[in-house]
Each structure stands twice: as C-alpha cells, then as structure tokens.
Amino acid sequence: MVSLFLKRRGNGLKAPGWAYGLGLLCVKLAALALLIAAGPARADSMLKILALGDSLTAGYGLSESESYPVKLQAALRAKGIEAQVINGGVSGDTSAGGLARLDWALADDPDIVIVELGANDGLRGLDPAKTQENLDAVLKRLTEEKRAVLLTGMLAPPNMGSDYGDDFKSIYPALAVKYGVRLYPFFLEGVAADPQLNQADGIHPTGAGVDIIVSRLLPEVMAVIDSLKQSAAGG
C-alpha cells in the first residue's frame, strides 16, 4: 500500500512529513523489540550447572555462602567461566529421594548435572543393589536428555563391614562406565575423617572442608565443561 503514503512531486516520489514520523516510530519500535528479545537469549546462554545431592550439597550447618554450589560458582567465575550453579541439595535425601524429585530438580533445564547421592543410603545400611538401581535411573534420564554429567562417588561407613563397603563402593565406577560419564571417585576426598575439616557430627564438612572439596572438584567440572563445548562445536 505504498501509494497511500506517497505523493508524486515532479518526476519523483516523496513521503509527506507525517509518513516520515510514522516510519521513524516503526523503526524505533522494531529496535526495541529486538533488544527485548535479545535480553533473555543472553541470559539463557549462561551455563547452568545443577548440583543434585543431599546435605553435603545443601550445605548442612553452614551459611548459604559456605555451601559448595556457591563456592564452586565463584571458583568457576574466577577461571573466567560464566556459570550458574544451582543448589539442588536436600538434607537427608537418599538416592531414592533424589530420583523422586528429579522432575523438580531439572526445572531450570541445566546443561550439566553433578550427582552427589548415596551417603544417606550408606549411613542407613540400605541395600547397595537398590542404591545402584536408583542412581541408574537418574543417570539414564540425564544421559537420554543429553545433559552432561559428573558423578561423584561415596563410601559406606566402616562400621557397615568390608563386604557391604566393597559392594557400595563398586556402584559408582560401574555406572560411570555404563553411561559414559565422568567419575570423581569420592566426594569427600581429603576431608572425610579429619576433625579439623568437619563439624562436630564428624560427617558434614566445615567451610574449610568445603574449600578443599571445591578445589578438588573444580578440575573435574572444568573437564566436563570442556567436553560439552567440544560436543557443541562438533555438532
């Protein structure tokens, strides 16, 4: 309908003043729409990491700023990696509990999931076969949804006996091989059984203990991030 907005002057066509104003307004509105659309896209491009776990992830007995997800996010950003680490820890959770709330935990659509589950299974002496079944279901869903995974292992308390301990310990490497995910063998490596790094209960790390966990876990997380970037580039 160009003819409605133009009038002939001499041998050429020229828009009247009001048409120029209308055109300028349309340009401004279009630019504003592009800016609004671009905002969420930039926000969504930030790497999202879900820390799925129990009280060791939730930060039991610590301030929020001392929890491992918060400290891991800070450590990643210090390395120049813009990532949001979501605290998906629930104190007292077992592997069954983690599986049951997986829909809720994945609501933020994370790119990477750090799975830290099983400590309470071991403390309660639950059947290792059942723990493995639950974790298998968690990893099956995560890998089917093409989410990168870092699986962190756990050890059973010594008082459960060597047979139970061996069966429990074997869960994590078996699942890591089955699903082709990266394994960090023991989440509490360098912290467990050290009174200076644990709270009075002897189970949950202090802030200093969390620092050690994060420092040891950081290279593993960065390796998963690198692998994810390589897959994206290749795909």
| Average pLDDT of the segment spanning 202-212 | 98
| Average pLDDT of the segment spanning 71-94 | 98
- 177, pLDDT greater than 60: yes
Mean pLDDT of the chain: 87
Contact between 173 and 185 under an 8 Å Cβ cutoff? The reply is: yes
| Average pLDDT of the segment spanning 127-150 | 98
Nearest to 56 by CA among 86, 90, 83: 90
Q: At what angle do helices 128-144 and 171-179 cross, to 10 degrees?
A: 20
CB count within 10 Å of CB 152 equals 27
What integer pLDDT is reported at residue 231 of this predicted model? 85
Beta-strand pair 112-116/148-152? parallel
Q: What tens digit of pLDDT does each residue of 24-56 get?
A: 444 445 544 444 444 333 345 799 999 999 999
Domains in the chain, start-ordered, CATH in brackets?
47-234 (3.40.50.1110)
What integer pLDDT is reported at residue 45 of this predicted model? 73
Catalytic residues: 55, 201, 204
Tokens of 72: 């891991």
Q: What is the DSSP letter of 67?
A: S
Q: What is the DSSP letter of 145?
A: T
pTM for the full predicted model: 0.81
The region of weakest confidence among 15-24, 164-173, 216-225 is 15-24
What integer pLDDT is reported at residue 80 of this predicted model? 96
- 146, pLDDT greater than 50: yes
- 158, pLDDT greater than 50: yes
- The CA-based dihedral angle spanning residues 88, 92, 95, 101, taken in that order and rounded to the nearest 10 degrees: -50
Say what percent of the chain tops pLDDT 70: 81
| Average pLDDT of the segment spanning 124-152 | 98
What integer pLDDT is reported at residue 127 of this predicted model? 98
What integer pLDDT is reported at residue 232 of this predicted model? 85
| Average pLDDT of the segment spanning 175-193 | 98
- Sequence-distant (≥ 6) Cβ neighbours of residue 200 within 8 angstroms: none
What integer pLDDT is reported at residue 17 of this predicted model? 54
Contact between 92 and 119 under an 8 Å Cβ cutoff? The reply is: no
What integer pLDDT is reported at residue 61 of this predicted model? 98
- Residue 53 host element (H or E): strand 47-53
What integer pLDDT is reported at residue 235 of this predicted model? 60
How many CA atoms within 13 Å lie on the side-chain side of 135?
35
What integer pLDDT is reported at residue 234 of this predicted model? 78
Q: CA gyration radius for the chain? A: 26
